[in-house]
Amino acid sequence: MNKTSSTPPLTLDAAQEFLREQAQRIDIDPMTNSVFALTQTLFRDMEDGKASQAGLTALANEVHLELIDERASRFRAQHAGADETAAWAPLLSRLEEIAKQGFDAFAEAVAQERGGLVFTGHPTFALSTELRAAFADHVGKPTKASRARLAKLIKADSRDWNQAISLYGEHEEVQTALENAAHAQRKMAEAILKIARTSFPDRWRELRPAMPTLACWVGYDLDGRADIHWSQSLTFRLTEKAMQLERYADRLGTLLAAHGKVPGLNGLARRLAAAARLTRSHAELFAKDLTDADNLVAAANALTGHDQHIILDAAAITAVLDSAIPAASDALAADLIAFRAEVAAQQLGTARIHLRVNAAQVRTVINRDLGLETEDRELGRVALAELAQKARKSKPVNVNFGDLFMEQSTARRQFMMCAQILKHIDAGSVIRFLIAESENPATVMGALYLARQYGVDEMLDISPLFETPEALETGGRFIERLLEEPEFLAYVKERGYLSIQLGFSDAGRFIGQVAADMAIERIHNLISRALAAKNADVDLLIFNTHGESMGRGAWPGTFEQRFDHLLTPWTRAGAEMRGLNLRHEVSFQGGDGYLHFATPVLADATMAAWGVHIFKPVDEASKTDPFYTRTDLVWDFYRALRAWHERLFVNPDYGRLLGAFSSGLTVKAGSRPKRRAAGPSGPRSLRAISHNATLQQLSVPANTAAGIGSSLQRETERLVELIDTSPRMRQLVFLAAKARGLTSLPALRGYASVYDPGVWIAHARMMKTESGAAAYRAVYYALRADETAVSINRIANLLSVDLRRFDRLTAQLQDAPSTEERHENRLALHVLHAVRQALMMRAFALAGRLPRLSERHDASARDVVNMIAEMRFAEVVELLSEIFPRARDQDTPLQALTEPGSQTRSTSYGYERIHKDIIAPLDEIGRTLHGISLAITHAYGAFG
């Protein structure tokens, strides 16, 4: 018996020491599982009355605080210590280097469009807004008070908050992040002008810097959801316009207060304020129920009437600023140039719009309305040619809000909405039209045809999204084929750049993250080569959307590593060699992504790091990286790694691993459903975020950590040499190794044991009372036909073999990771998993003690056990509360009856004992498990 057996290990230190002691037994018993040993100890102590559920909740909260504090430390280090001066210093240094090349070189560098930041949505809002705000404050200035606030919020029950997540709430959150991003954007403009005024005192007023763009798809992304009405998108856009006009008016007011009245600017300030008020009124009209035709007519007529105070194009603002700059004082001129750069970047919104639809929605229009088939094996060559001809001959048609009201096709409706935004809200702002799951060039050409039909092609960037394995394989040929069509090439030339989007998320889910990274880098270069070959004198805009399973964009290193991971130095060098300018966009997704912009200081650090990235010169050393010369070894590795993950993904045991039980470990973290409503079942039905989040909750981020060990086993020495000598290969293995450090097969096997019928029979034999043994046997009967435990152990065995090989591989590296350090770093996570598993067992035991349920309730005690097996605690509590209602209070209106009756009504007709001993504890378990799910995300840096 271990030393801690007499005292429940209900502190983090005691629990970690217990785990260390248990782990030492592995030399005696190779089947030792320290995590499940702690699980059973905690469970037995609760059952025997030595420990309470409240004690386990307190232990979970203690670990949660430790993990969120460690996450804050990592976040602080990534953001230059939350020191504004330190954050901007590298960018200022880089700008000074550019300035040494002369004014022309500097002016060209700062005026060049280089890409920007995209704020995306989706389910990564696991932590409440209040907790994320407290986290950001703790990152910025860690104090005892900030830590105490975190501790208080960790203890709060956030289940209702998660259930109440809505698109409107997400839109409010992104606006806060965008406001801080815009402030940081202005600071970048000021940094550029600071260097310019010192270096070029006679010419700096000529500068017109191009700021990194800010874009957003929250409220405009229809991929995978049908719950966003077109009127909601328009309401969001009008609200954003009103907010931005108010900011412009305030900004100008601040400048005038500091510098005095300036002819023209005072009038512009008044005009901006009037336009903002008008736009607010339009937003209020569009926020009404526009399925009511009367409401629609009132809103549409107000907007399209073009009141005298309306501003439809940001050029009306920049023209006034341009006219004021020459005569302004140096200080005012610098402020006006920075302000102008902000207006040019944002136009009349808080961010540029990213509309997103699914390729299937565009194909529906092509197939139904045009009678064209786009799925032939030749990548739709016939359809592509016909659509190119239709696009060439297409003449714009006029649309109004009545057309939007009547249109049933999602794709057509989105093009109509683009037309209305450009006509009546913001004429100068380019709209990105993203097409998800693009695998066919004809789909893009069909989108161009529709853009021409609605007269929006001149302001619409049609961008295919390559994310599926098929798309990543054929994407290069996809773009080559499109560029062969004169009509599409003419469109790209007109736009000045080709836009593409790369989805790391689904790619990493299907073929493993490291293989996906390699495939995406390849397609970057194939498309770059194809575009450069056309000598079209256009740029290539690449939008990379993250999703590397260590959290949405939560790269476990520096910003420099993160950005280089997405767009490698070798890719950038290749583009420069071909004379092709790259514009790079990256996403900051959901609540976790918005944390980088949660405060002005954090936003400054993020924007400054982005500035260093976009102004960084080409890395000449990347051209000699052996990753790009040892192509035989590299692509043999890629193919083997991809094949391993593709086998895992279709493994039936993997499907059961990600089934009802583990899905219940994740929390609602966004307004978008975590599973696809239609289409394939199993792992394929899970969206990438939910897939990754589920693996995190099971302590096995397999799609990042696994597969490498099983690839090229006969080439281990050559692989080790490549990793040691190649920066790119080392970067890929770095990501996998970080995921490996957070992988725990003992934790995974612990969940198998919780669902193992044999474990419950063993515990039943240990019980001293027959009623206790009967409760455990009830759990056994409910689980005996369940294959969860078998499937989990099979996957654990598969991963064990692979990860053992990976560990042997990394042990041979020059900077080999420490096994001891990995084990020690996982202890806090192991404690969390053990507490969760003990509470799951406690819930099973409580359900096993339920009395026989009446047939009229259409549910049995075994059904309740099965619901708990699927982690459906809220439903269990609701069902049992209905079956076993509480007694009515003494002050019930029935007390007004004058006829004498029973004096024991409140106890006779109530189930107080069941509420106290079973229902309330089950509810508390659900609450604690919810908190544990949140706590685990901190180790990975994000949810999913």
C-alpha atoms less than 13 angstroms from C-alpha of 152 in its C-beta half-sphere? 8
Q: Which of 472-481, 620-629, 894-903 has the lowest mean pLDDT?
A: 894-903
In which band, very low, low, confident or very high, does the pLDDT at 553 lie, cut at 50, 70 and 90? Answer: low
* Distance of alpha carbon 285 from alpha carbon 859, whole angstroms: 48
Residue 439 lies in a domain: yes
Residue 215 lies in a domain: no
Q: What DSSP letter does each residue of 323-351 carry, written as one string?
A: HHTTTS-HHHHHHHHHHHHHHHHHTTSSS
- Sign of the torsion angle spanned by Cα atoms 374, 448, 111, 194: negative
Question: Does residue 909 register a pLDDT over 70?
Answer: no
Coil/strand/helix, residue 123: coil
Residue 433 lies in a domain: yes
Sequence letter at residue 795: I
pLDDT digits (tens, 9 = 90+) for 697-718: 999 999 999 999 999 888 999 9
**Nearest C-alpha neighbor of 35 from the set 25, 27, 50:** 25
Higher pLDDT, 681 or 146: 146
CB 482 within 8 A of CB 391: no
pLDDT digits (tens, 9 = 90+) for 9-22: 999 999 999 999 99
pLDDT given for residue 675 in this prediction: 79
Characterise 209 by phi-psi region: left (phi > 0), alpha (psi -120 to 50), beta (else): beta
**Nearest C-alpha neighbor of 736 from the set 711, 702, 688:** 702
Burial of 672 (0-12, 13-18, 19+ CB in 10 A): buried
Q: Which of 168-177, 564-573, 891-900 has the lowest mean pLDDT?
A: 891-900
* Distance of alpha carbon 619 from alpha carbon 628, whole angstroms: 14
Q: Could you give the angle at which helices 920-940 and 688-697 cross, rounded to 10 degrees?
A: 100
pLDDT digits (tens, 9 = 90+) for 505-532: 888 889 999 999 999 999 999 999 999 9
* CA-to-CA separations, 192 to 198, 210, 236, in angstroms, rounded: 10, 10, 32
Average pLDDT, the chain: 93
pLDDT given for residue 377 in this prediction: 43
pLDDT digits (tens, 9 = 90+) for 33-60: 999 999 999 999 999 999 999 999 999 9
pLDDT given for residue 678 in this prediction: 64
Residue 498 lies in a domain: yes
How many structural domains does the chain have? 1
**Nearest C-alpha neighbor of 729 from the set 514, 488, 939:** 514
Tokens coding 137: 């404050």
pLDDT given for residue 353 in this prediction: 98
CB 91 within 8 A of CB 195: no
Residue 466 lies in a domain: yes
Q: What DSSP letter does each residue of 436-493 carry, written as one string?
A: ET---HHHHHHHHHHHHHTT-GGGEEEEEEE-SHHHHHHHHHHHHHHHHSHHHHHHHH
Pairing between β-strand 582-589 and β-strand 539-544 as defined by DSSP bridges = parallel
* Distance of alpha carbon 518 from alpha carbon 740, whole angstroms: 19
CB 592 within 8 A of CB 942: yes
> For a pLDDT cut of 90, what percent of the chain falls above it?
83
Phi then psi for residue 909, to 5 deg, are -105, 15
pLDDT given for residue 380 in this prediction: 67
pLDDT digits (tens, 9 = 90+) for 910-919: 689 999 999 9
Strand partners, 583: 541
* Distance of alpha carbon 239 from alpha carbon 235, whole angstroms: 6
Residue 925 lies in a domain: no
* Distance of alpha carbon 514 from alpha carbon 936, whole angstroms: 23
Sequence letter at residue 834: A
* Distance of alpha carbon 473 from alpha carbon 518, whole angstroms: 11
pLDDT digits (tens, 9 = 90+) for 330-383: 999 999 999 999 999 999 999 999 999 999 999 888 888 777 765 544 446 778
Strand partners, 462: 433
Question: Does residue 785 register a pLDDT over 60?
Answer: yes
Mean pLDDT of 873-899: 80
pTM of the model: 0.95
Residue 40 lies in a domain: no
pLDDT given for residue 370 in this prediction: 74
Question: Does residue 682 register a pLDDT over 70?
Answer: yes
Sequence letter at residue 81: G
pLDDT given for residue 395 in this prediction: 87
Residue with tokens 């959150």: 173
Mean pLDDT of 834-855: 93
* Distance of alpha carbon 464 from alpha carbon 466, whole angstroms: 6
**Nearest C-alpha neighbor of 89 from the set 80, 76, 101, 102:** 80
In which band, very low, low, confident or very high, does the pLDDT at 225 lie, cut at 50, 70 and 90? Answer: confident
pLDDT given for residue 384 in this prediction: 87
pLDDT digits (tens, 9 = 90+) for 588-623: 999 999 999 999 999 999 999 999 999 999 999 999
Residue 600 lies in a domain: no
Quote the domain boundaries for residue 526.
358-367+375-550
CB 123 within 8 A of CB 548: no
Indicate the Cα dihedral angle 593, 594, 596, 597, nearest 10°.
160
Q: Which of 241-250, 550-559, 667-676, 806-815 has the lowest mean pLDDT?
A: 550-559
pLDDT digits (tens, 9 = 90+) for 393-440: 888 999 999 999 999 999 999 999 999 999 999 999 999 999 998 988
Q: Across the chain, which distance is largest between two alpha carbons, in Å?
A: 101
In which band, very low, low, confident or very high, does the pLDDT at 907 lie, cut at 50, 70 and 90? Answer: very low
